[in-house]
A and B are shown apart, each in its own frame.
Chain A
Amino acid sequence: MEIFEIPLPAILSQLLLGLVNGPFYAILSLGLAVIFGLLNVINFAHGAMFMMGAMVTWMGFTYFELSYWNMLWLSPLVVGLFGILIEKTMLQWLYKLDHLYGLLLTFGVTLLMEGVFRSIYGSSGLSYSVPEALQGATDLDFMVLPNYRAWVVLASLVVCFATWFVIEKTKLGAYLRAGTENPRLVEAFGINVPLMVTLTYGFGVALAAFAGVLAAPIYQVAPLMGSNLIIVVFAVVVIGGMGSIMGSILTGLGLGVVEGFTKVFYPEASSTVVFIIMAIVLWVRPAGLFGKEK
């Protein structure tokens, strides 16, 4: 069976690959959406945090012989603390100003971090091997699926939905949402809003680092790995609707699939297709697919 002269197994394998790549977009755009939704900051440093997550994973193995499984929680913790440091020392003074200031600050942080890592480790990157338990691949007949990629899908979906659940369905999440809506009132109830905001930024950044750990064995761990991805992820957030948690998860997954198909039908457009969709969505629904018009 063939569709547009492309055999069915090829279509199936590209569909699966799209589903494999989507979770990266989903988990990164989720972190951006959480930070934007609760702090109103456009966190341009997200790509750099993703890179740092991968770098810390590599360093943990190289300098301290810490396994992948340890780094899976250690790396987000380290990067999350780093994020908190940035929030406490710099970002927190900018909340009352225009979005542009937060964007410029985080963009500067990105350049700084990329520059530091590049001057130490060079730009072609370091390699990090797949953990032993997940090596090998499963032959699905129409394609070979590396076990590690299957794990990535599983791990990121679990994290995505756990985050959505905490923010949308628990009391803690309700405090957070209330705190961004009317911080004074929530503070009057005796809740420490600035602390909550700081921890949220730390958590959003830790999500990026978690994606970084997942990415380390797949891609070269390189100082610029985040900057290639971040622009696409911003487009994902815009398409999904700024600040919408579920929206960014679903859009991330969906766009992974769309991008996968573009690579079959017209590979040259694969790096632009996301932006074409973004333009169309903004035209039809300016608040994004899942965003609420204010």
Chain B
Amino acid sequence: MNFKQIIIATACALSVLPAVAQTDNLKIGFITDMSSLYADIDGPAGAEVIKMAIADFGGKVLGRNIELLTVDHQNKADIAASKAREWIDQQNVAMILGGTNSGTALASSRVAAEKKRLYINIGAGSARLTNEECTPYTIHYAYDTVALAKVAGKAIIDRGDKDWFFLTADYAFGHSLEKDSSDVVKATGGRVLGSVRHPLNASDFSSFLLQAQSSKAQVLGLANAGGDFVNSMKAAKEFGVDKKMKLAGLLVFINDIHALGLKNTEGLLTTDSWYWDQNEETRKFSARFFEKFKRMPSSVQAGNYSATLTYLKAVKAANSDDTDKVLAMLKKNKINDMYAKNGYIREDGRMIHDMFLMQVKKPSEATKPWDYYKQLTTVPGAQAFTPLAESKCALVKK
């Protein structure tokens, strides 16, 4: 066979695949970063957690088997959008769970709204999902950039450090986080001296950090996440930036702390929506997770579990997988499980629940593996997220 023949043969073989018969399964689609800088926060383990939730629910709803489809969006919004479209049009997916990366989340949210299908995002941060770009079909479940700014951002300013400089990941999430944090800084009498934007998944941060240092600001706000956060922290230590400025990780996951080690992160203030060692229920879930993956779950992975169960309960209660009926049920009932207590979904799609101000422990304070956070305060959901009165979402009646 020559090269051309091989290509033709492959194309023929591939074209046969989608013709596999449609089944009557209730399908859930999960779009996230499976292989790059956010894959440990969510990724394959995040998908596995959704399967756990489905199994815990009994594997069936309305007499139909529940099936999970997953895809790696590779941090590209066009891949996320086209996959969402394909799943809804060709696979009749009942609900899409969105993972990390705000750019992909905003794109999927628009497709879901256009197709009038439910989209629940857990891993992405941008508060625009339920603010400027809210849709009747999007639910933002775990955290958002406003809550990150209002919890840890505010706590840092309250300690007396008022001059900020931002190191920002140059895409939707970083922009939102920088804007929302700047708003909090200014509202509490602080000043923003400037910012520098780095490409997503950058490898070398030294140059950006020196620019930050020459601003003479007191606080360096890291408006990035995952691998970018880890690498910028490392470089900040290396170049002695942490001696002259206080570092504020605005979105930190437990996996990042694990990667950096307590020695490099002790004392860091951060916001989280959930922590594995909060109570009996969270520990029980985490022990199951640990058995499979030999690490503790991130708050996003816990959110995946909770969101899946919440959705399946609503389908059962509505006795239908019709999007509008399920949505009505979702907004009617409170969410009480190992992830959220008395959580509820607002008309703009924001799930309101408690957020926590965490501080990273000193190496001497940690008594067991993954013992990383001290919970300082609990911020009630109504204070942590955007108040409805300030919302720019068109669905909010004023």
User: Which residues of A does B touch, CB under 8 Å?
Assistant: 7, 9-10, 13-14, 17, 20-21, 118, 122-127, 130, 137, 143-144, 146, 148-149, 218-220, 222, 224-225, 228-229, 260, 263-264, 267-268, 270-271
Expressed in whole angstroms, the minimum distance between the Cβ of B341 and any Cβ of chain A is: 29
Q: Are A260 and B207 in contact (CB under 8 A)?
A: yes
Of A124, A127, A228, the contact of B226 (CB 8 Å cutoff)? A124
> B196 in the interface, Cβ–Cβ < 8 Å?
yes
Name B219-273 residues within 8 Å CB distance of A: 226-227, 230-231, 234-235, 238-240, 255-256, 259-261, 264
Q: Assuming A222-B227, A263-B211, A268-B199, what are 5 further A-B pairs, CB within 8 angstroms?
A: A21-B204, A127-B234, A219-B231, A228-B201, A263-B207
**Which of B31-39, B108-116, B281-289, B311-319 has 4 or more CB atoms under 8 Å from chain A?**
B31-39
Q: Are A267 and B197 in contact (CB under 8 A)?
A: yes
Indicate whether A218 sits within 8 Å of B259 (C-beta atoms), given known contacts A17-B206, A267-B196: no
A222 to B43, CA, bound (A): 16
Of A13, A122, A149, A228, the contact of B39 (CB 8 Å cutoff)? A122
* In the complex, chain B residues whose CB is within 8 Å of the CB of A118: 35, 39
* In the complex, chain B residues whose CB is within 8 Å of the CB of A122: 39-40, 255, 295
Expressed in whole angstroms, the minimum distance between the Cβ of A281 and any Cβ of chain B is: 22
Q: Among the interface residues A7, A149, A267, which one has the most CB atoms of the partner chain B within 10 A?
A: A267
Of A7, A9, A17, A220, the contact of B231 (CB 8 Å cutoff)? A220
Of B43, B203, B238, the contact of A225 (CB 8 Å cutoff)? B203
* In the complex, chain B residues whose CB is within 8 Å of the CB of A219: 203-204, 231, 234
* In the complex, chain B residues whose CB is within 8 Å of the CB of A7: 214
- Identity of the chain B residue whose Cβ is nearest the Cβ of A262 in the assembled complex: B207
Q: Are A268 and B170 in contact (CB under 8 A)?
A: yes
Expressed in whole angstroms, the minimum distance between the Cβ of A237 and any Cβ of chain B is: 18
A229 to B204, CA, bound (A): 10
- Identity of the chain B residue whose Cβ is nearest the Cβ of A100 in the assembled complex: B3
Of B199, B255, B264, the contact of A271 (CB 8 Å cutoff)? B199
A229 to B37, CA, bound (A): 14
Indicate whether A228 sits within 8 Å of B203 (C-beta atoms), given known contacts A124-B256, A143-B210: yes
> B198 in the interface, Cβ–Cβ < 8 Å?
yes
Q: Are A123 and B43 in contact (CB under 8 A)?
A: yes
* In the complex, chain A residues whose CB is within 8 Å of the CB of B87: none
Indicate whether A125 sits within 8 Å of B230 (C-beta atoms), given known contacts A220-B259, A268-B197: yes
A7 to B214, CA, bound (A): 9
* In the complex, chain A residues whose CB is within 8 Å of the CB of B204: 21, 219
Q: Are A126 and B36 in contact (CB under 8 A)?
A: no
| CB pairs A–B below 8 angstroms (14 shown) | A10-B210, A17-B207, A122-B40, A123-B39, A124-B39, A124-B255, A125-B230, A126-B259, A130-B238, A137-B239, A144-B239, A219-B203, A224-B35, A224-B37
* In the complex, chain A residues whose CB is within 8 Å of the CB of B231: 219-220
- Identity of the chain B residue whose Cβ is nearest the Cβ of A147 in the assembled complex: B238
Q: Are A267 and B198 in contact (CB under 8 A)?
A: yes
Indicate whether A146 sits within 8 Å of B238 (C-beta atoms), given known contacts A10-B214, A270-B199: yes
* In the complex, chain B residues whose CB is within 8 Å of the CB of A20: 206
* In the complex, chain A residues whose CB is within 8 Å of the CB of B240: 137, 144, 146
* In the complex, chain B residues whose CB is within 8 Å of the CB of A146: 238-240
Expressed in whole angstroms, the minimum distance between the Cβ of B174 and any Cβ of chain A is: 12
Name B313-335 residues within 8 Å CB distance of A: none
Q: Are B230 and A124 in contact (CB under 8 A)?
A: yes
Indicate whether A14 sits within 8 Å of B210 (C-beta atoms), given known contacts A124-B227, A137-B240, A228-B201: yes
* In the complex, chain B residues whose CB is within 8 Å of the CB of A9: 214
Expressed in whole angstroms, the minimum distance between the Cβ of A260 and any Cβ of chain B is: 6
- Identity of the chain A residue whose Cβ is nearest the Cβ of B200 in the assembled complex: A271
Q: Are B234 and A10 in contact (CB under 8 A)?
A: no
> B193 in the interface, Cβ–Cβ < 8 Å?
no
A186 to B297, CA, bound (A): 61
- What 3 pairs between A and B have smallest CB-CB spacing? A263-B207, A124-B40, A271-B199
A118 to B203, CA, bound (A): 18
A17 to B199, CA, bound (A): 18
Expressed in whole angstroms, the minimum distance between the Cβ of A257 and any Cβ of chain B is: 11
Expressed in whole angstroms, the minimum distance between the Cβ of B374 and any Cβ of chain A is: 22
Q: Are B208 and A267 in contact (CB under 8 A)?
A: yes
A20 to B259, CA, bound (A): 25
Of B207, B230, B238, the contact of A220 (CB 8 Å cutoff)? B230
> B202 in the interface, Cβ–Cβ < 8 Å?
yes
Expressed in whole angstroms, the minimum distance between the Cβ of A29 and any Cβ of chain B is: 16
Indicate whether A218 sits within 8 Å of B238 (C-beta atoms), given known contacts A124-B40, A268-B197: yes
Expressed in whole angstroms, the minimum distance between the Cβ of A114 and any Cβ of chain B is: 8
A267 to B256, CA, bound (A): 25
